[in-house]
Amino acid sequence: MARGRPKEKVRWSKLYSFNCVRPSVQSDLDRSPSLLGPGYSRVVHCNKPLVHRKKPLRYPTNYISTTKYNFVNFLPKAIFEQFRRVANLYFLLTAALSLTPITPFTPVSMIAPLSFVVGLSMAKEALEDWQRFMQDMKVNRRKFNIHTEEGQFGYRSCQKILVGDVVKVEKDQFFPADLLLLSSSYEDGICYVETMNLDGETNLKVKRSLEVTLPLDDDDAFKDFGGTIKCEDPNPSLYTFVGNFEYERQIYALDPNQILLRDSKLRNTSFIYGVVIFTGHDTKVMQNATKSPSKRSRIEKKMDSLIYILFSLLVLISLISSVGFAVKIKYGMPKWWYLQPNNTTNLYDPSKPVAAGFFHLITALILYGYLIPISLYISIEVVKVLQAMFINQDIQLYDEDSGNPAQARTSNLNEELGQVDTILSDKTGTLTCNQMNFLKCSIAGISYGVSSSEVEIAAAKVMASDVSTSLDLQSSNQDLWDKQASTFGSSEIVSISCYSPMVRREKKSFIKGFSFVDDRLMHGNWINKPDADTILLFFRILALCHTAIPEYNEESGCFNYEAESPDEAAFLVAAREFGFEFFKRTQSSVFVYEMQISGYPIEREFKILNLLEFNSKRKRMSVVVRDESGQILLLCKGADSIIFERLSKHGRMYENDTQKHLNDYGESGLRTLALAYKKLAEAEYSTWNDEFVKAKTSIGPDRESKLEQVADMIERDLILVGATAVEDKLQRGVPRCIDKLAQAGLKIWVLTGDKMETAINIGFACSLLRQGMKQICISTLNTESIGKFLLWMDQAIKENMLMQIANGTQAVNFEQDPHEAFALIIDGKALSYVLEDDIKNDFLNLAVNCASVICCRVSPKQKALVTRLVKEGTGKTTLAIGDGANDVGMIQEADIGVGISGVEGMQAVMASDFSIAQFRFLERLLVVHGHWCYKRIAQMICYFFYKNIAFGLTLFYFEAYAGFSGQSIYDDWYMLLFNVILTSLPVISLGAFEQDLSSEVCLQFPALYQQGPKNLFFDWFRIFGWMANGLYSSLIIYFFTISIVNVQAFRADGQTTDMPVVGTIMFTAIIWTVNVQIAMKMSHFTWIQHLFIWGSIATWYIFLLAYGFASPLLSGSEYQILMEALAPAPIYWFSTLFVAAVCNLPYLAHISYQRTFHPMDHHVIQEIKHYKKDVEDQRMWKREKSKAKQKTKIGFSARVDAKIRQLRGRWHRKVLTLNVETAP
């Protein structure tokens, strides 16, 4: 068995100032404070896992499950889910009543359809949950190296890991459970952890073991290892941990720095040893997970209301029928001697009309049950499965890089995709791909870098189009995304010297993280510059001011850098390309290859004296180094606002020019940092270092503040060197996707665990924020001093929150500029207050009036609470999208949850309703599939109610005509086949294949998506319109058919019709009417639709022929009905076609009037495409496209609009200046 690997030598506790001082021994056993009690009852016996599976402990295993069902509860829970549907409950009752003598149908005809529908729906639920189960098993079966016995380690599946097990986790593995870190491959027990799946942050966290466990550094060391951990009970707090570790008769305090959480990842560390504290659903990440909910779409919920309406109609006509029957029995039955009224049952006893009417009420409820379509649910299930298959098989949603297609993990919510109002998105791994590109820099007041950002390129394209064609600015702007994103930065971009002299990018070999182009600095040309000393210092700051670790890549022959942030990695790549390659770090030094004029590198060593880390409060990072000449330098990088206020009087030489460059970089969507330095005298440094060491080694709650104060002392009187500008590399297509979604009228919120500065920078990069947008920042930073003066600190902070919200609301309401946009930015601590009941509505009102909302430093639980607030507060459809375990709560809380499967970790995908490989696929998922699915399901349901009303009411009319006898005019087989065979396939083709517009046109006209959120195709007006159409059709079908065949001979020999003939003629008219109606409803035909529609009509005739040829014992009075009675009679063919035409004339008139005088958006586009005007008249096509966009203040187009307004303003000012200068 493999032993521990050689120990890395860097002792990071010597470098890090703020978080690497070890706790001392707390006490001995006799004086240890007890943690046992409510909330602190966990006891873990290290290296004794079996103890924890016995009473009284009985800790759970490491098995996890995200399924809705299991083998025990599937049957009762699935049956409950099915009979939550009102229609199914009704048909269960009618199926039970069909076993009684009062039923008008046979029991089989009632029980079989219900069993088929419910069984198929349950089978679909079981299949979808089985897929979730298989994904769970993929996680549960991961293999990990576990201590077995006598210092031997062996691989065991994740689900079999127990509390107390010692686990060896190797580099780039996920932690299988919550662990206490015992030791690592580093000499002092430090390890790097990536917590992206937990809090969304990409920067690596430093964890440290207790010093007492450092000797446990190889497999043999665990042969006799034992200890006891007493700690807090399982809870969802990711950032806290309280516990004690009893080891070798001593007790050591534990804090979050020693805890490795499940689903975080080991990075930059060869291996670690840890002991399991929490397993399975006790782990903190699973404690943050909410129970997998049963979600229902809004359309399905509204369909229940429709069922109630139809049920009310059913009860009404059944009451009318029962009253009519009671009257007939009381007054008519005594006269009908042939029915033997004196020798009958209670069903027909003229002396008991009330009882007879009651029994007939039950008969009528069953007879008219066709008003409530039982096959609607099964048809919808079939259609949704087909829609899910189309989503899964859409090649445009397939990601070639990862090999992951889109996946509809549940088909119940397809139509919800077309009704989304607000998108709540995670940041890391969802919007970003954690890659920065070094693009520009400012050194000594001179800007370098001729490459253009995507914002600059897009603006230049629009301006070029504006100048060359004089087309309308807005219509030109709408075509920004018509070309592939890959054209950005290519040589196809036209250079416009009068507006942007540097929009053309030079072709060069691609270097990840480095897109800088400028020969003034490249290839050593900077050496000849007059300010070469400043440039040298700039490059050295890039190469030295960081905490990265170099790793030599043998394939490329270059060094790769494992950095805490992507910015640092980009700076190091840039320094390397400029000739300053960082290649080695020891405990006390950093080594850099510096390129010389001769072209050969020289190795230089810089002693690292102190390192002051970056954090969100400091907004800067500094390193104190000693160069080879003995000079001590403080090198600092940070936010420009922080650096500029710390400059000395003689260090502001380049401030104005640098500030101008920073503004230009910001307008171009780039992330910026300012760089400065300071020379330190030996005595000055020595005095400061004494204070620093004293603060660093202090123990107590004020240690952090002491370190910040000491750091602040040295980071003053700086000399400005320059500034950097990096382009934040979002996932491919993210700006386009956000732009299109914004134009589709969707609101986008970003919920991230990252610090506020990072989130704001990402907001700029993906165009949720832009230069000039007014930011409303709500935080508790301004309330820290309140508690010193007020007794009730929480109440004071609440009042401060309300004041900040009120001020923001006032600013939004009083703004007069139509182009002005507001962004709301709030941190997690402030959220904990504003999410309380007495504040949350005010916060929501402010948020919905802002163009974009960014929530920073939010916990997984807060993400879920914000999602719930938006969902319940607005009453509109919400969609949550994320990629990590920290996003599971909001994914499950939202109406629709979308998981990103293109990044590491499967927790989000397993909890989601839909999964896609990258954020950019969300555009097509919503704008195309969402739009299609919503319209298909809405039209399908409306049509279903129409055809069932048209069919069901004819039964009522005939019963009234036949003295309320309960007699059906149709044969039982006709009624059984009506929904199952004869009209099911056309309606399924409508729900599965209907397209009002092609996918390409949907993407070109994103505002069409608003038909879903506005519910234009399933509002009450449209629903009642279709019901009225069904009522009209039923009246025409019944009374026209009766009128035609009632007053004349049916056949040439003078024979009149009987009831089977009348029923068959009427049923044929219904089949023609409803199928012609659905053909008129469709706007997209393939051979499938033609086959299903006309094939259904043909199937009716084939069935009628076959049924007639069957034995009279089966066909009864319908024996040979087509060949002998109907086919030879011309009136049969005339009446059916005539009635069908009259029934569909009002709909034809309606759509003709609507398309002519009040066309909807898709009607106009359909007409343009039909007459090929999009090809013949490009100006008109662009104009229509520009009109079909929602006005928005976020997105790339809005950002380019702002850039264009700025460029135009500059150009006009320049023209005015020239005119003034040339004026006589």
Structure tokens at 531: 């300010």
The secondary structure of the chain in percent helix, strand, coil, rounded to multiples of 5, reads 50, 15, 35
Q: Would you call 426 a catalytic residue per the annotation?
A: yes
The answer to whether residues 721 and 538 touch, using CB atoms and an 8 Å cutoff, is yes
∠ CA 1129-1133-1138, rounded to 5°: 135
Which residue in 822, 825, 888, 839 sits closest to 859, CA to CA?
Answer: 888
Computed from CA positions of residues 774, 775, 776, 780, in that sequence, does the dihedral angle turn out positive or negative? negative
Residue ranges in the chain whose pLDDT is less than 50: 1-5, 11-34, 36, 466-508, 783-791, 904
Q: Give the pLDDT of residue 486.
A: 37
Cα separation of 930 and 1034, whole Å? 34
| Residue 777 half-sphere exposure toward CB, CA atoms < 13 A | 12
| Residue 964 half-sphere exposure toward CB, CA atoms < 13 A | 26
Cα separation of 961 and 957, whole Å? 6
List 129, 199, 426, 827, catalytic entry: 426
Q: Give the pLDDT of residue 26.
A: 46
- Tell me: the pLDDT tens digits for 905-922? 566 787 888 999 888 899
User: What is the DSSP track for 367-397?
Assistant: HGGGGS-HHHHHHHHHHHHHHHHHHHT-GGG
The β-bridge partners of 1008 are: none
Q: Give the pLDDT of residue 491.
A: 28
Alpha-carbon distances, residue 52 vs 43, 127, 149, 1222 (angstroms): 9, 35, 17, 91
Cα separation of 394 and 1086, whole Å? 18
Structure tokens at 70: 């299991």
The answer to whether residues 376 and 941 touch, using CB atoms and an 8 Å cutoff, is yes
Cα separation of 860 and 867, whole Å? 11
Cis peptide bond prior to 56, omega within 30° of 0: yes
Cα separation of 796 and 799, whole Å? 5
The answer to whether residues 57 and 76 touch, using CB atoms and an 8 Å cutoff, is no
Computed from CA positions of residues 998, 1004, 1010, 1016, in that sequence, does the dihedral angle turn out positive or negative? negative
Which residue in 556, 629, 612, 550 sits closest to 582, CA to CA?
Answer: 550
The answer to whether residues 41 and 232 touch, using CB atoms and an 8 Å cutoff, is no
* 911-933 as b/e: b if 16+ CB within 10 A: bbbbbbbbbbbbbbbbbbbbbbb
∠ CA 374-1060-368, rounded to 5°: 30
E strand or H helix at 155? strand 152-157
∠ CA 861-863-865, rounded to 5°: 70
The β-bridge partners of 350 are: none
Alpha-carbon distances, residue 791 vs 784, 786, 796, 797, 830 (angstroms): 13, 9, 9, 11, 19
Which residue in 221, 202, 223 sits closest to 212, CA to CA?
Answer: 221
The answer to whether residues 431 and 919 touch, using CB atoms and an 8 Å cutoff, is yes
Kindly compute the dihedral angle of the four CA atoms of residues 1086, 1091, 1093, 1095, in this order, to the nearest 10 degrees. Answer: 170
Q: Give the pLDDT of residue 1186.
A: 63
Cα separation of 1085 and 1077, whole Å? 14
∠ CA 1150-1080-1061, rounded to 5°: 105
21 burial type by CB count under 10 A (0-12 exposed, 13-18 middle, 19+ buried):
middle
Structure tokens at 1168: 């343009």
Which pTM value belongs to this model?
0.71
* Close Cβ partners of 912 (under 8 Å, ≥ 6 residues apart): 409, 891, 897, 898, 899
Which residue in 826, 821, 829 sits closest to 768, CA to CA?
Answer: 821
869 burial type by CB count under 10 A (0-12 exposed, 13-18 middle, 19+ buried):
buried
Which residue in 765, 857, 265, 258 sits closest to 562, CA to CA?
Answer: 265
Q: Give the pLDDT of residue 453.
A: 77
The β-bridge partners of 244 are: 230, 253
Across the beta sheet with 774-778, the strand order is 407-408, 914-916, 896-900, 877-882, 420-425, 747-751, 852-856, 822-827, 774-778
